[in-house]
């Protein structure tokens, strides 16, 4: 089994550093495989790291999984946009001991927006990143932002 060349090309353009794709499951790669040649060239330029894993159990005749792992080096002509995330406050919001959550939500709103822009979608994960005792203010803020 080998994936199509178009699928690997699309993966190369959209994959983030550390993401992997299994591009073949076989005992050996075909000599004239366009997919393997394209990935070898990408590996020579430092865009991916290629390796194979031995298959231990299960049905089928293939013995290896051929895997490509994306590195952080951008493809030629590809530009990564880096978002500026506001720095965390020097003191944690709960150290101010607010009685109401509205003031706390105003304090954490820029950091929550920044973490959500980076792809963090879990309210409890955002609360842990901000060092909050409870995730409730983050959930309330996320509901307000969604409305």
User: Strand, coil or helix: what is 51?
Assistant: strand
pLDDT of residue 93: 56
| Region for 67 from its dihedrals, namely left if φ exceeds 0, alpha if ψ lies in -120 to 50, beta otherwise | beta
Give this prediction's pTM: 0.51
Name the helix (H) or strand (E) containing 9.
helix 5-14
pLDDT of residue 61: 67
* Rounded Cα gap, residues 25 and 42, in angstroms: 20
Token pair 């969604």 is found at 146
Q: What is the mean pLDDT of each run of 10 residues along the chain (147 residues)?
A: 86 88 86 89 92 76 85 76 64 55 74 84 84 82 81
pLDDT of residue 69: 94
Residue 68 burial by Cβ neighbours in a 10 Å radius (0-12, 13-18, 19+): buried
The C-alpha angle with vertex 62 and arms to 57 and 68, in degrees rounded to 5, equals: 95
pLDDT of residue 142: 86
């Amino acid at each position: 089994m080998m994936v199509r060349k178009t699928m690997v090309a699309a993966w190369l353009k959209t994959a983030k550093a550390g993401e992997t794709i299994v591009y073949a499951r076989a005992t050996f790669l075909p000599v004239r495989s366009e997919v393997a040649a394209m990935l070898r060239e990408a590996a020579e330029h430092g865009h991916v790291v290629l390796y194979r894993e031995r298959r231990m159990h299960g049905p089928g005749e293939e013995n290896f999984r051929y895997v490509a792992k994306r590195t952080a080096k951008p493809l030629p002509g590809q530009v990564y946009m880096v978002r500026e995330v506001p720095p965390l406050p020097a003191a944690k919001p709960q150290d101010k001991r607010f009685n109401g959550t509205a003031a706390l939500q105003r304090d954490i709103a820029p950091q929550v927006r920044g973490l959500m822009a980076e792809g963090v979608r879990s309210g409890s994960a955002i609360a842990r990143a901000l060092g909050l005792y409870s995730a409730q203010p983050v959930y309330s803020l996320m509901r307000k932002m969604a409305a």
